[in-house]
Amino acid sequence: MREVMSQVNQYVSIVFVLLGSFLFAKGLPKRKLWPLRVSLIVILNAFFVFAWSFFFNNFNDSPYLILSCSRYIIQYFFALSFVLFTFKCGFVEAVYCATCGYCLQQIASRFTGLCIIFIDVEAVPYIGLLFYGLTAVFYVVMYFFVIRGKFILTPNLEINSPLQLLLSTAAMFIIIIVEAYMMNAVRSLAEPLQKASEYLKSTMFSILILVLELNLVRQRRAEKENAVITKMLGQDKMQYEAEEKIVTKLNIIAHDLKHQLGKNHEFSEEAKEAVEVYDSMFKTGNKGLDIILTMKNQICKQNDIELTCLINGKDFLFMSESETYSLFGNILDNAVEAVLKLEDTQKRVISIVSYRSKSQIVIHEENYFDGEVTFKDGLPKTTKGNDDIHGFGTKSISLISKKYKGEVSFHCRDDVFSLDILFDDKNIQKLK
């Protein structure tokens, strides 16, 4: 009976390792016949565990570290094979998912072991089910509060880094050796406190390795986002330069038309509209701001959106013209997108103002919106369904603001969304 339970425990342990690996890989594209592939891995897992236990049953209890490590090496390679066989990913990504999945299983197992180490096992029926139940609860908590949305791999997040592969491989060897050593030590201990001490040591090692792995992915995600935002800013700069040339030519043409219109009233309606556009151009004292406000104002007029602006462009001369263009462009793009979804056209209103408060420059924008806004890391989440592709507008706003030590905040109250950016003259002067 004891041998059967040992086999079951080994099998369930590997299943939890596979589940942990799946949690980190679930954002990757699945291979064809995915359910069948998963079933084959699970069946092969069961066959191998029982075959291994039949031929090498004494390895797990061996005093030799290398032999006792065999069980944990098998668990890890099953997790690695599972990710490679069921998901479309590179070897480094598979190593990351398998390493994190293995660490998660070890932490959950040791945490659960600590919870029941002081319990009289003989007096509690179905102690195994209690152990597995607590482990499952631990997985659920870790997924919803730690893993989800931050550390799950996606097709747009590549981690093909030699450093990642080296650290992951080294980490697994360390964990496996520590785990085998701990289990050998626990078997010779009788006192619960001594066993708890060994469990804690093993848990701390696994937590350390998991944190290092997750931190590498966090850095890679931040690098990728910054690269995308930098590219967007470069595109905004090119767009600004192109629109600046167009606006300059239009200004000359409209200026001449205006003078001609005063002498001759037979101009077409199109010519009169061109002059009206010229007259409606913003003149804030900041060329980049003038161009973006003029362009967005035309878009608002075409979509029956009321845009109210009260901005002193000279307050933002500490930025480059392209940065000013990009900052206010992204603010207004998000606002226009929100009000266009409103069925009540009376609420298609956008207000953006700037003012000085002592040594501070404040930008305040607000608009109506429909639905719910959720926040992630202080920024409103995109409503377009893919955080890896969309949602960089608000991140761009945040990046430009932080470049000049500005503070950005977003708020929702009832059906009004508002944005506030605060710059301090003292911080701006330090950057010059």
Torsion of CA 298, 303, 307, 312, to 10 degrees: -30
Residues 220, 159: contact at Cβ < 8 Å? Answer: yes
Q: What is the mean pLDDT of the chain?
A: 77
Q: Residue 327: name the closest of 386, 240, 246 by CA.
A: 240
Output the pLDDT for position 232: 62
Query: Which of 3.30.565.10, 3.30.950.10, 3.30.470.20, 3.40.50.620 would CATH assign to domain 282-431?
Result: 3.30.565.10
First to last CA, the chain: 76
Q: Which residues pair with 408 in a beta bridge?
A: 421
CA atoms within 13 A on the CB side of 37: 14
8-state DSSP, 121: G
Cβ contacts of 183-190, under 8 Å, gap ≥ 24: 183/68, 184/63, 184/65, 184/68, 187/61
CB atoms within 10 A of CB 28: 20
Q: What are the C-alpha distances in Å from 138 to residues 18, 20, 82, 102, 220?
A: 15, 11, 22, 14, 27
Low-confidence ranges of the chain (pLDDT < 50): 1, 58-59, 385-386, 388-390
Output the pLDDT for position 428: 83
Output the pLDDT for position 280: 59
Domain spans, the chain: 2-218, 282-431
Q: pTM, whole model, 2 decimals?
A: 0.62
